[in-house]
Amino acid sequence: MTSISERSGVTVLYGSETGNAQDYAQFLAKRLKYFGLKPTIMSLDHYPLKNLVTDTKFLIIICSTTGQGELPRNSKKFMKFLLKKKLPSDLLNHIELTTFGIGDSSYPKFNYAIKKIHARLLQLGCSELCTRCEADEQTPEGVDGYYSEWETNLLEALKKKIQGIPLTYDETVLLPADNPVEVLYNEQDIVTSDPSTEVSLTRIGDGSTDLILGSVKDNKRITKEGHFQDVRHLIIESENLLYIPGDTVALYPSNDEASVDALIQLQPHWIPIADKPLVIHGEVPFIEGGLIDKLKLTLRSLLTHHLDIISIPRRSFFMTLAHFSDASTEDGEREQEKLREFSRIEESEELYNYANRPRRLILETILEFQQNLRIPVDYILDLFPIIKPRLFLIASRPSPNLVELIVAVVVYKTILRRVRRGLCTKWLKLLQNNDKIVFSIHKSNLKFELPNYKYPPILMVSPGTGVAPMKSLIEHITLTGIQQDLYLFYGCRSKENDYLFGDLWDSLKSQNKLSIYPCFSRDLDSKVKYVQHKIYEQHELVGDLILNQNAILFICGSSGAMPREVRITLVEILVKFGKMKNIEADDYLMNMENTGRYLQETW
Asked if residues 484 and 455 have their Cβ atoms less than 8 Å apart, the reply is yes
Per the annotation, where are the binding residues for FMN?
16-21, 64-67, 102-111, 137
Per the annotation, where are the binding residues for FAD?
359, 422-425, 603
The Cα 87–Cα 53 span in angstroms is 12
Per the annotation, where are the binding residues for NADP(+)?
465, 521-522
Q: CA angle, 500 as apex, 494 and 504 as ends, to 5°?
A: 120
CA 526 to chain centre: 35
Task: Please give the helix or strand (H or E) that residue 163 lies within, else none.
Answer: strand 162-163
Using DSSP's 3-state secondary structure scheme, residue 443 falls into coil
Q: CA angle, 246 as apex, 244 and 249 as ends, to 5°?
A: 85
> Which residues, 6+ apart, have CB-to-CB distance to 440 below 8 Å?
210, 211, 212, 249, 250, 289, 389
SS3 helix, strand, coil % of the chain, rounded to 5?
35, 20, 40
Residue type at position 523: D
Helix axes 561-577, 582-594, angle to 10 degrees: 120
Q: How many residues does the chain have?
A: 603
DSSP 8-class letter at 386: B
DSSP 8-class letter at 298: B
The Cα 514–Cα 506 span in angstroms is 9
Using DSSP's 3-state secondary structure scheme, residue 215 falls into strand
CA 351 to chain centre: 21
* Closest to 477 (Cα-Cα) out of 504, 455, 451, 509: 455
Residue 228 CB-half CA count within 13 A: 7
Per the annotation, where are the binding residues?
16-21, 64-67, 102-111, 137, 359, 422-425, 465, 521-522, 603
* Closest to 470 (Cα-Cα) out of 133, 140, 245: 245
Instruction: Give the number of other Cβ atoms within 10 Å of residue 328's Cβ.
Output: 9
The Cα 484–Cα 591 span in angstroms is 23
